[in-house]
Structure 1
Amino acid sequence: MAATEQQHERALEIFLDERPELRIELDHLNPLLAQAKGETAAQYRAERLHEAFEAEAERLGLFAWELTLQLTAASPQDYQAQRLEVHKEVAEMAGMTWADYCQLHDL
């Protein structure tokens, strides 16, 4: 079961709550930059938040969906179970054996 949109939104809230400096930065973005991109200030802010989230996931060596699960799971065991479930779904969609997929992704 891949992370739901609701889980991802909750993960973004947690991520932002843990980084007050990022919240301040996002709250003070130049509205002209949003206008130049043809976006509303809210859209531009959301895009910057997603970029920061994805950069943090990459820094941790995770996919963004893994960081979402990590931040929203009830326990480390729950995170690991959900993570493996998603990886199994991806392996199946890719038509790979579980063993080959695990080897490819160091699982």
Structure 2
Amino acid sequence: MNANDWTEAALAKYIVTNPTLQAEIANLSAKDQQDQIRWAFEDEAEAQGIETWELALTFIAETPEQLKSMRLEAHKEAAETLGIDWEEYRAANAIPE
């Protein structure tokens, strides 16, 4: 599962937690509803000062331990993709051991 998959899985859970948004978009087309949900989700991540994929993990992880593990795995994959040594990446991104 990648960041896009995480976000898609999280959006369904996110809208359930946001009845105000549900009411606001009720009369929109399905496509427009999805767009509005995605934009609100992105705004929520920005308001929390985190990346969208990180917010997605908070919605799809079933336990705090799973959330921690998923975040760590995502960062390790990012370091590998970028070709950066894990310890260097961890230090640069303030990721605890």
Aligned to 2:73: 85
Greater relative CO (CA pairs within 8 A, separation 6+): 1
Structure 1, residues 45-83: CA drift from partner, whole Å, max 9, x if none? 211110110111111122111111111111001000011
2:91 and 2:22 mapped to 1: Cα distance?
38
Aligned to 1:49: 37
Aligned length: 95
1:58 and 1:43 mapped to 2: Cα distance?
23
Aligned to 1:94: 82
2:2 and 2:8 mapped to 1: Cα distance?
14
In structure 2, stretches of 5+ residues that fail to align are none
Divergent runs of 4+, >4 A: none
TM-score, length basis structure 1: 0.77
Larger radius of gyration: 1
SS in 1 for 2:62: coil
Aligned to 2:2: 2
TM-score, length basis structure 2: 0.84
- Alignment RMSD: 1.8
The share of aligned pairs that are identical, in percent, is 36
SS in 2 for 1:74: coil
1:4 and 1:75 mapped to 2: Cα distance?
21
